Amino acid sequence: MHMWTRRNLLTSAVTALSAATAVTAGGAAAAAATGMPARVGSGARGSGGGDIAAALAALPGLRIIEEREGAEPGYRFFVLGLRQPIDHTGRTPGTFEQRLTLLHTSRDRPTVLFSTGYAATLSPRRSEPAVLLGANQLQVEHRYFGDSVPPGTGFAHLTVRQAADDHHRVVRLFRGLYPGGWVSTGSSKGGMVSVYHRRFHPHDVDGTVAYSAPDNVDDRDDSAYLRFLETVGTPDIREALRDVQRQALALRTELVARYADRASADGTGFRIVGSADRAFEAAVLRAPFMFWQRGNPGDAAGIPGPAASADALYTWLDRVTGLNLYTDAVARDFIPYFYQLGTEMGYFDVATDYLAGLLRYPGVTEPRSFVPRDIPMRFDRDAMPDIDHWVRRHGSGTLFVNGGQDPAVAEHFRPGPRDSRLLWAPEANHGVALSDLTEPDRTEALEMLAQWGGVTALPGAGARGIG
């Protein structure tokens, strides 16, 4: 059996580019989806030069897991596996297979490098930049999520730098197939991952569109988050949210029993968080943040009032906070996320003064609560200031798009002046899109995207795809 070593993983991507580029692929069917004139080139299935599947098969360390149906006309959708080093520094031997997906339309189109920051989305859905550019889309599953888990236990190699190096190797491998403009993108943690990649490999792509990406520079200072939640919306909405928290905690016994029964019926429990009671308290404390992150002032009418039944309280809390997220069945998939929060990325605190006498578990919303105790965690206070410094002082080709109603970006990136912008959609939340921007910001954003993608025109209408 052929064993991939770190050395041939790093060198084979370069030496095989000539073989990959000799295989033509693709057409111009994306013109129908974008309204842009097609460039001269072969279509998604290739005409007069071969097939994209053959080109992919020629890339070292890459395998086609499957080609799936359901892609839009002019696209082919592949699920891929790429052999990656566990440790890009070479100090720890071994490799793992990282899951990728590819939405291919043509080698003549731009390419969007997309990440959720978590497990890959195994559906042929294009991000907003990919739709606007009529681009190929290459998605990278984050290490330690989904099927991209290195062997062994623990998360010693789960760092922003190791993940950035994963993305770097992916770009190096595919650049020969797709020589046009490259734009990286993602929302929330995916946007953060795109920025972290640029910090360590600034020239891998031509530009980055980061949606709803927090910048938690100093994890000891949560004043921006607290201040946001004390001022967002109207005083009446904020008080209604505080009241519903008090009501839920006052009915804790009844609601927790229902919560535990539901988890048991679903065949899961609360070993990771510790108990249904702890999970319930964490959900209640996060309710205002979650309400604003995905809601808007119009949703205030649905907040249960003082006379609400226990059933109404439970239903609202479940809808807003996602109570199943704290059960083992779901929480185990997010252990690496909370590990990252507790070792590098940081997290926000919540206000509790108005809940005096109703709480039992100090610090229950902290990342440590969601990571098993046998996994050590030590916070690196230099990691995020380093990223922030690069964005402010050295970054270029970055576009940050935030919603004015989103508490997650109470602490946000502030890019420097070099081909970079921070744009706000005042009424949008965590699901913000370029189409939410007002003029002239939207036009400016589309012009930046077109420049980075190497195209002369974009369609006039926006398209939602991130979220």
Does residue 33 surpass a pLDDT of 50?
no
Q: Residue 371: left if φ>0, alpha if ψ -120 to 50, beta else—which one? A: beta
pLDDT at 465: 40
- The rounded mean pLDDT for the chain is 89
pLDDT at 363: 95
Three-state DSSP at 70 gives coil
- State the average pLDDT over residues 453-464: 65
CA nearest 318: which of 359, 287, 297? 287
CA nearest 136: which of 49, 51, 47, 74? 74
Give residue 16's pLDDT band: very low, low, confident or very high (50, 70, 90). Answer: very low
- State the average pLDDT over residues 241-269: 98
CA nearest 411: which of 425, 427, 400? 400
Distance CA 324, CA 302 (A): 20
Does residue 48 surpass a pLDDT of 60?
no
CA dihedral for 426, 427, 433, 435, sign (positive or negative): negative
Does residue 191 surpass a pLDDT of 50?
yes
pLDDT at 384: 98
Does residue 118 surpass a pLDDT of 70?
yes
- 184, β-bridge pairs: 113, 208
Task: Give the number of residues written for the chain.
Answer: 467
Does residue 275 surpass a pLDDT of 80?
yes
- State the average pLDDT over residues 359-370: 97
Q: List, in order of start, the domains of the chain with CATH numbers.
A: 6-217+384-453 (3.40.50.1820), 223-370 (no CATH)
- Which tens digits make up the pLDDT trace of 408-433? 999 999 999 999 999 999 999 999 99
- Among 151-155, 176-180, 327-331, 450-454, the minimum mean pLDDT is found in 151-155
Distance CA 216, CA 200 (A): 18
Distance CA 303, CA 320 (A): 10
Q: Are 52 and 211 in contact (CB under 8 A)?
A: no
pLDDT at 458: 78
Does residue 55 surpass a pLDDT of 50?
yes
- Which tens digits make up the pLDDT trace of 279-331? 999 999 999 999 999 999 999 999 999 999 999 999 999 999 999 999 999 99
- State the average pLDDT over residues 87-109: 96
Burial of 382 (0-12, 13-18, 19+ CB in 10 A): exposed
- State the average pLDDT over residues 266-291: 98
Enumerate residues 6+ apart whose C-beta is below 8 A from 355: 245, 246, 249, 285
Q: What is the pTM of this model?
A: 0.88
State how far the alpha carbon of 440 is from the alpha carbons of 128, 402, 445, 461, in Å: 19, 16, 9, 14
- State the average pLDDT over residues 47-69: 86
- State the average pLDDT over residues 37-45: 37
- Which tens digits make up the pLDDT trace of 200-239? 999 999 999 999 999 999 999 999 999 999 999 999 999 9
- Among 10-24, 113-127, 314-328, the minimum mean pLDDT is found in 10-24
- State the average pLDDT over residues 7-36: 34
84 sits in which H/E element: strand 76-85
pLDDT at 27: 31
How much of the chain, in percent, has pLDDT values that exceed 90? Answer: 85
- Among 170-174, 217-221, 260-264, 328-332, the minimum mean pLDDT is found in 217-221
CA nearest 403: which of 309, 283, 294? 294
Does residue 181 surpass a pLDDT of 90?
yes
- State the average pLDDT over residues 364-379: 96
Distance CA 97, CA 80 (A): 9
Q: Are 77 and 71 in contact (CB under 8 A)?
A: yes
Three-state DSSP at 402 gives strand
Does residue 153 surpass a pLDDT of 60?
yes
- 101, β-bridge pairs: 79, 139
pLDDT at 152: 87
